[in-house]
Amino acid sequence: MSEGNGLAMGELKAPKRRHIVLASHPSRSGLKGGPVQWGHGDPAQRGAIVATVTDPNHRNAIGTHSGSYSVYRALAVASGVLDPDHKPDFTNTAPTIAIGPHPSWADPEKIVSLDPFGALVGEVYASLLTEGIDLRPTIAVTRAHIQMPELLEAVRQGRIKEDGEIVKPGGDLVVTKAAVEPVWHLPGVAQRLGVSEDDLRYALFEQTGGMFPELVTRPDVKVFLPPIGGITVYIIGDLATITDPARPLAVRVHDECNGSDVFGSDICTCRPYLVHGLEECIATAQQGGAGLIVYFRKEGRALGEVTKFLVYNARKRQVGGDRADAYFARTECVAGVQDVRFQELMPDVLHWLGVTRIDRFVSMSDMKYNALVRSGIEIVERVPIPDELVPPDARVEIEAKKAAGYYTDQVAPTEEDLAQIKGRGLEQS
């Protein structure tokens, strides 16, 4: 029937329907997957997180693996191309470098939004896997070479040196990268946000359209794998130097901005700042330390790209045009809030890596800075984006942010200054 997509309709298997087991009420025998003692330093005592759907009786967590991709998995199952009972073969999938354990892994309050043992499932829970418990890693670690035109240009201009190890001849950057899925300990997340666990559970239940009834019916299940984007960490240099106080560490914490990061849109400073962060990481690694780019998949201040584009139009069509003094107001009138990124959970990934001090923090965000310092990480120096890297249309955003408290090594603009800083109109090309 259909040609070219490799999925002729006639070949589809009917989806396999299984007996639905509602996990909305506690079973008499308690949690079959075993209790989770969040923050216990011994993985056996902490307990494995069982969030797979192949055997509902083993589950001890709400939600499931792969974040938002669990919905695509559902489409594959519904259309008969994926056996819902498929158990993965993890041969040769282990991390390419050892990470941890660090003292933070044994502190229930230091890490609340990821599983520190998430990359080691195949190792620390090998016996459970042998018993047939369907566990899945929530962290994967691999190696890569990065080629970015800006970095190649920096090599050409002599700002980045080819050392043969971190930067290969020809300009390839050698990195280790880790993909991290969210695993939330609900009491800890509630505590970070300063709300009750009940209020958090109710809001999550209601705002996902009642997607996870156990949030409100199973207060005994404390772990939730939310259907959201994860984190990618790019590690430059030797990871082992992170815990050595004599070695420098550079860090950029970056929230996804598809328009700028990938497509080079000039309305914000995201990609130029990201690349500057990479340059700082390379320089610090070449000084015998390491650099980290932590990339969060939360687009448009976690409001999403539709809201983001609506705000762009509202900014550019308002009376007086796109102005720095009205920058935050336009976001707030569309979204009801200026920002929902909640940097309170952001430091967890750095604690997973054993970070206790950042020598060069490549970010101007006061929210990120405050969250890191509150979590016990020392920040020695903050690195603003160099002025020459700010695209003209992005002046509106960067100056509004400086006036609102973002770090700058210059004098922050006044309200009067902001009213003068204007962006391009929608009709201007």
CB of 271 to Zn ion, least distance (A): 8
Alpha helices in 104-218 (DSSP H): 121-124, 126-130, 149-156, 186-193, 197-207, 214-217
Pick the piece of the chain touching Zn ion (CB under 5 A) from 94-102, 176-184, 223-231, 270-278: 270-278
Site for Zn ion in 247-266 (CB under 5 A): 257, 260
When binding is defined by CB under 5 A, the residue of 160, 270, 282, 403 that contacts Zn ion is: 270
Output 311 or 355, the one with its CB closest to Zn ion: 311
CB of 129 to Zn ion, least distance (A): 41
Given 46, 301, 341, 382, the catalytic residue: 341
Q: Is the dihedral of CA 395, 400, 401, 403 positive or negative?
A: positive
Active site residue 339: yes
Task: State which amino acid sits at residue 336.
Answer: G
The least CB distance from residue 75 to Zn ion, in Å, is 30
| 275 is a contact residue toward Zn ion (CB under 5 A) | no
Contact 373, 393 (CB under 8 A): no
Q: Binding mask 37-66 vs Zn ion (x if CB under 5 A, - otherwise)?
A: ------------------------------
Interface characters, 149-178, with Zn ion (x: CB under 5 A): ------------------------------
CB of 179 to Zn ion, least distance (A): 22
36 token code pair: 């989770």
Q: What is the DSSP letter of 323?
A: B
Q: Where are the beta strands (DSSP E) in 21-150?
A: 62-63, 139-146
Return the number of the residue (256 or 359) whose C-beta is nearest Zn ion.
Answer: 256
Q: Which is nearer to Zn ion, 39 or 229 (CB)?
A: 229
Residue (268 or 345) nearer to Zn ion, CB = 268
Write the CA distances from 121 to 41, 51, 63, 85, 104, integer angstroms.
Answer: 14, 13, 18, 19, 18
- CA–CA dist 187, 361 (Å, integer): 29
Residue count at the site for Zn ion (CB under 5 A)?
Answer: 4
> Is 341 part of the annotated catalytic residue set?
yes
Pick the closer one to Zn ion by CB: 99 or 311. Answer: 311
Q: Beta-strand (E) ranges in 153-283?
A: 173-180, 184-185, 223-225, 231-237, 249-255
Q: Which is nearer to Zn ion, 271 or 351 (CB)?
A: 271
Q: Which is nearest to 255 in space by CA: 352, 365, 150?
A: 365
Helix (H) or strand (E) holding 270: helix 270-286
In SS3 terms, 390-416 reads as: CCHHHHHHHHHHHHCCCCCCCCCCCHH
Per-residue binding string, Zn ion, 200-239, x by CB under 5 A, is: ----------------------------------------
CB of 257 to Zn ion, least distance (A): 3
Nearer to Zn ion, 85 or 305 (CB): 305
Q: Could you say which of 119, 268, 293, 326 contacts Zn ion (CB under 5 A)? A: 268
The minimum distance between CB 308 and Zn ion, in angstroms, equals 8
- CA-nearest of 143, 221, 236 to 184 is 221
CB 87 → Zn ion: shortest distance, Å? Answer: 40
- Give the C-alpha separation, 227 to 65, whole Å: 8
Closest CA to 57 of 18, 82, 29, 85: 29
Do residues 357 and 249 lie in contact, with contact meaning Cβ atoms separated by under 8 Å?
yes
Active-site residue (options: 266, 339, 366, 393): 339
- Residue 196 φ/ψ, nearest 5 degrees: -80, 155
Would you name the residues annotated as active-site residues? Answer: 339, 341
Contacting positions for Zn ion (CB under 5 A)? 257, 260, 268, 270
